[in-house]
Amino acid sequence: MSTYTPMIQQYLKIKAEYKDCFLFFRLGDFYEMFFDDALAASRELEITLTSRDGGSADRIPMCGVPYHSAENYIKNLVEKGFKVAICEQVEDPKTAKGVVKRDVVQLITPGTVMEGAMLDEKENNYLAGISEFSAETFIITYNDLSTGETSVARISTGWEAVLGELFNRPVKEVVIAPDLPDSFQDDLKEKLLVTVSYQQETGITEEFQYLAEKLNKDQQLVEGFGRMLNYIQNTQKRSLDHLKPAHIIELNQFMALDMFSKRNLELTQTILRKGKQGSLLWVLDQTVTAMGARMLKKWLERPLLNKQSIVQRQEIVAAFLEHFFERESIREALKSVYDLERLAGRVSFGNVNARDLIQVKQSINKIPEIKLILSQFDSKSVQKLGDEIDDLQSLSQLLEESISEDAPLTIKEGGIIKDGYNDRLDDYRDASKNGKKWISELEKKEKQATNIKSLKIGFNRVFGYYIEVTRANLHLLPEGKYERKQTLTNAERFITPELKEKESLILEAEEKSVELEYELFIELRERVKQFIPALQALAEQISNIDVLQSFATVSESNDYTRPTFNEERKVNIKQGRHPVIEKVMKEESFVPNDVTMDEEAEMLLITGPNMSGKSTYMRQLALTAIMAQIGCFVPCSSAEMPVFDQIFTRIGAADDLVSGQSTFMVEMLEAKHAITQATENSLILLDEIGRGTSTYDGMALAQAIIEYLHEHVQAKTLFSTHYHELTGLEDSLGKLRNIHVRAEEYQGNVIFLHQIQPGAADESYGIHVAKLAELPPDLITRASEILQQFENNDKSMVKKSEKDPGLPPQTEEEQQQMSFFVSEGAANQPKQTNPKQAHSLIKEIEQLNIMEMTPMEAMNALYQLQKKAKQ
């Protein structure tokens, strides 16, 4: 350390406290970085790497960015998951003895961004916290520093549920205790791709106790919230007055959507492109304000379970639908409402400017108009929305009187405060504009008072303004008023209290005016702070109105229908459509389908060829349920359904290569999650379970899962499969019904009709699909020949082919193995070559308690049976 210059020593000392951050070290007009920070920053930001003498033998790597354009560089680093510590000069260089004192004034991390340019206006920017209390119990906290929103939730079902909950929200950074297990930390970094930060302290100071009042003195909740609060205090080092008291998220009040379901259903982003377009959010978002867009996303992530709350939303949507012109007037008014949530946050945080306050005023000025429009509706629910809004006219009046309409972006250059707001400021401005006129009038006044015609007022840089009187006229000056300042050969120079006052005003007017305006703006900001809770409440009310009108707008343009709910767990959807696909399809029209499920049909087993629409049919039921439970109308001619408590999906291949899990393992994990967590009030969608392993293993697992769900879980289940053998289960499982997607063959080509009909599909049309994919003609011809051989030979026995001498015929033993899996009557099949071994195998099968086996146990048992069969 001693080998470096004092300034580099200062840098290293501060850097030691912020090892995991890029330290932006202020030197004049630049933020400089040194050593490893410089090497990394030059690479990440693509800026020039230089070096400087730091007192040691070797030159020190260095790079820097101009402080006035640093925001874009900081944004770049934060978006990549890095943290940036802003180190400023904290004393006046003119008065500094030695190296100017510097300190970190703010830590900018992915979860604590406040600057508007770094934020997506339509999405929250969450910092999350995790506190572990047992193997099953965790406390999760959320905070959006830009809006002040803070919430706490308890997870009592283990770590996987924690990952699923965090996946539901746009979390950019997670705060944890340093001793959280490494495997959990790896999951956060690899599965959720978030920045991980550490905070040990969980105590809450007296100053912030009010933020924990709603946590009911629950020690676990308070400790979990305290961990996050301490991290925010340590990183931000400024006012946090806009933080709202933490509220408890009662997870049992919302439909549970795990990580798999949210991803598979593409609620807020698509699987492939990771973008909004093509998601359900994309379809439903007709919001006008940024606040409304964020609120819509929250509602979509947490559909309601309370039927009364859902119906309340529906009634308002229905009223907006019926009053087209009033709804359009509201949409027009909302276009002038800015992001009050984040503006309130900027006020508290101290980075608000005059133009931000003008936006607050303009937004508030639209509220009376919105209230008036809402009062014109027939619906009492809509009228109540307007009645509950505080229009904050006192704040509007304060801002109207104080802030100039053409105020600049900066708050230290003047031109912010209106004339008439402050007398002293008005005097400064008047002095600055009318200084010479004042002096001229004062000179005239003094001549008249003294009767000295030659009296004049002059100015020099040493003495400032003065009154000059010739020696011959000195006897005319009244005693006591004039103070001698300078003696000349033929004259004396004086000052008077009035002249001194004018001089002070004139000379200091410009400088003092700017300083006073800054002081007045800071005072004004503190006065506006008192309105933060009211602004936040107003923002929430406007957001709700915006989302509900968005539902009405979408429902009208897409011909959606108001759904109803029943307690009998019946699903009866007529002419149902997939909301996203029908919007994407332009020339073709979407083929609607009915969904009917009741106590006699708890499960639908769906067969049909690939590309026929099985997955679409399954997804559209789930999306319809979600839309209904957030209060939106749904894509169909009529809909009656239960309130689902959870939705589980296993749709599409989803290899988890990062954690080394194959498609089949992911398939089994998702199936296990549904089987173990679902209730009879849940909806389960399973698409082609078992396809990731061998035919026999897959078929056995699929049947075991169907039987287990049918007998034990009894949730509403849609199960699609290519195993046509499973359609026979309709005869033995009373609440299972076969349905299929209709397809027709015409002149050697298959035509997908996308129509759901009762019964099982008679063909899979796999070769036709391969033909549509334009596989080589020779390959298609050969596949058709092999298929013909399977169909012509009883029990799928294939003989050697002249074209393919390498294809062996199936043995009788292999035939018997195939017949064993075709139906449950395997024990009644003709005797095998070795009846004693066959009888032993059948006996062992009969002793298996399939209904009590997990899918993995069933797979292991099946494997052992197969080994014995081959012997």
Binding-site annotation: residue ranges = 608-615
Alpha helices in 594-686 (DSSP H): 614-629, 663-677
As a whole number of angstroms, the distance between CA 620 and CA 530 comes to 47
Residue positions in the annotated binding site for ATP?
608-615
Give Cβ neighbours of residue 229 (< 8 Å, ≥ 6 apart): 204, 208, 211
How remote is the C-alpha of 859 from its chain's centroid? Answer: 39
Q: What angle do CA 374, 379, 385 make, to 5 degrees?
A: 45
DSSP letters, 625-643, are: HHHHHTT--BSSSEEEE--
- What SS3 state is found at 246? coil
Comparing C-alpha atoms, which of 29, 26, 119 is closest to residue 75?
119
Please report, for residues 329, 529, 547, 593, 658, the alpha-carbon distance to residue 543 in angstroms, rounded to integers and kept in the order given: 16, 21, 6, 34, 38
For 175, the token pair is: 């705060």
CA dist list (Å): 552 to 329, 547, 807 = 14, 9, 62
Place of tokens 């959507």: 257
In whole angstroms, what is the distance from residue 178 CA to residue 186 CA? Answer: 13
Helix (H, G, I), strand (E, B) or coil at 680: coil
Whole-number Å distance between alpha carbons of 674 and 705: 10
Residues 724 and 688: their CA atoms lie apart, in Å, by 11
- Tokens representing 548 are 């509900």
CB-count exposure of residue 745 (10 Å: 0-12, 13-18, 19+): exposed
Exposed (0-12), middle (13-18) or buried (19+): which is 262, by Cβ within 10 Å?
buried
Dist. CA 753–CA 556, nearest whole Å: 28
Buried b (16+ CB within 10 A) or exposed e, 534-561: ebbbbbbbbbbbbbbbbbbbbbbebebb
Residue 23 has phi, psi (to 5 degrees) of -95, 110
User: Alpha-carbon distance 303 to 264, whole Å?
Assistant: 17
Concatenate the DSSP letters of all residues of 344-394 into one string.
HHHHHHT---HHHHHHHHHHHHHHHHHHHHHHTSS-HHHHHHHHT----HH
The answer to whether residues 418 and 404 touch, using CB atoms and an 8 Å cutoff, is yes
Token reading at 741: 């997607």
Q: 618: how many CB neighbours lie within 10 A of its CB?
A: 27
Number of H helices, E strands in the chain: 27, 27
Measured at the CA of 426, the angle between CA 425 and CA 432, to 5 degrees, comes to 90
Identity of the residue numbered 845: I
Distance of CA 861 to the CA centre of its chain: 44
599 contacts 568 by C-beta, under 8 angstroms: yes
- The answer to whether 290 and 339 are in contact (CB under 8 A) is yes
Give the residue ranges of DSSP H helices in 266-339. 280-284, 290-301, 307-322, 324-334
Q: Give kind and range of the element (H or E) at residue 456.
A: strand 456-460
d(CA 156, CA 137): 4
